[in-house]
Amino acid sequence: MIRQATVHDVPRIAEVINSHAELGKMLFKSYAQLYEGLRDFAVCEVDGKIVGCGALSIIWADLSEIRSLAIDEQSRGRGYGRQLVDWCLAEARRLQIRRIMSLTYEQAFFAKMGFEVVDKDTLPLKVWSDCVRCPKRDGCDEIAMVRTLAEVPVMAMPETAPTPKGVSIPVLEYVEE
Ligand SMILES: CC(C)(COP(=O)(O)OP(=O)(O)OC[C@H]1O[C@@H](n2cnc3c(N)ncnc32)[C@H](O)[C@@H]1OP(=O)(O)O)[C@@H](O)C(=O)NCCC(=O)NCCS
C-alpha cells in the first residue's frame, strides 16, 4: 500500500534511505531533514512494515523532483519502486506540474518509468541546493532525467505583482524546448 508518510514513519524512512546512503547511492538524511520535508513523502507499507519511500518536491511552477526514492534491499524488484514513482507522478498531476525530474544512478529504472536523460545544464540552479551537503559535489556523476506529463497544460509563468512600495521581484524566464 502506498500512502502519505506520517511522523511515525520517520525512523524507518531514515533506516531505508541511509542503508543506501552508506553504499554511496543517495544522500544521508537526518531526522530533522525528514521531519521538515515530511509532507513531500509517501511510503510503501507491506504487512505493517515500511519497505520503501519516495518524495516529490516542488522546484518551480513547471518542475518537480523525485527525491529520496528507496526500497529496502530485501524488497527490491517487486514493483514497489514503480508504485512510488506512480504516486509521485499522480502528485505532480494533482499539483499541475508538467515536468518531473530525477538525479539518479538508476538510469534504466527511470527510463522504464518514462524518464529521458537531459543535460544537467538545462535544469535551474535551485535544483543544486542539496549539493552543498553532498561529498561528491565537485565530481557529480548523477544522471539528470526528466519526464513530461503531456496531459498537464504548459503554464504561462505569472508576472510578479509589484509589492505595495512598487518593488518588483524578478522571476526566472520560462522556455520549454
Ligand atoms: C531504484 C529502485 C527505487 C527501484 O525499485 P524496485 O522496487 O526495485 O523497482 P521495481 O520492482 O518497481 O521495478 C520496476 C521496473 O524497473 C525495472 N528495474 C528496477 N531496477 C532496475 C535496474 N536497476 N535496472 C534496470 N531495470 C530495473 C524492473 O525490472 C521493473 O521492470 P518491469 O516493470 O518491466 O518488470 C530501488 O532499486 C532502490 O531503492 N535502489 C537504491 C536506491 C536508489 O538508487 N534510489 C534512486 C534514487 S533517485
When comparing pLDDT for 144 and 167, which is higher?
144
Nearest CA to ligand 1 atom 4: 81
Name which of 104, 94, 80 is nearest 149 in CA terms: 94
Residue type, 69: L
Tell how far the Cα of 105 is from the centroid of ligand 1, in angstroms. 11
Average pLDDT, the chain: 91
Mutate to test the pocket of ligand 1, among 109, 110, 145, 147 (most ligand atoms within 8 A of CB): 109
Sheet holding 99-104, edge to edge: 2-4, 41-46, 49-60, 63-71, 99-104, 143-148, 116-117
Could you tell me the CA-to-CA distances from 170 to 1, 9, 95, 155, 163 in Å, in that order? 42, 39, 23, 18, 12
- Ligand 1 atom with minimal separation from the 67 CA: 48
Name which of 19, 7, 13 is nearest 43 in CA terms: 13
Q: pTM here?
A: 0.91
Tell how far the Cα of 31 is from the centroid of ligand 1, in angstroms. 25
CB atoms within 10 A of CB 148: 16
Residue 160 pLDDT greater than 80, yes or no: no
Residue 173 pLDDT greater than 70, yes or no: no
Residue type, 10: V
Tell how far the Cα of 134 is from the centroid of ligand 1, in angstroms. 23
Tell how far the Cα of 174 is from the centroid of ligand 1, in angstroms. 32
Nearest CA to ligand 1 atom 22: 109
* Residues 85, 53: Cα–Cα separation, whole Å: 10
Percent of the chain residues past pLDDT 70, beyond the cut: 95
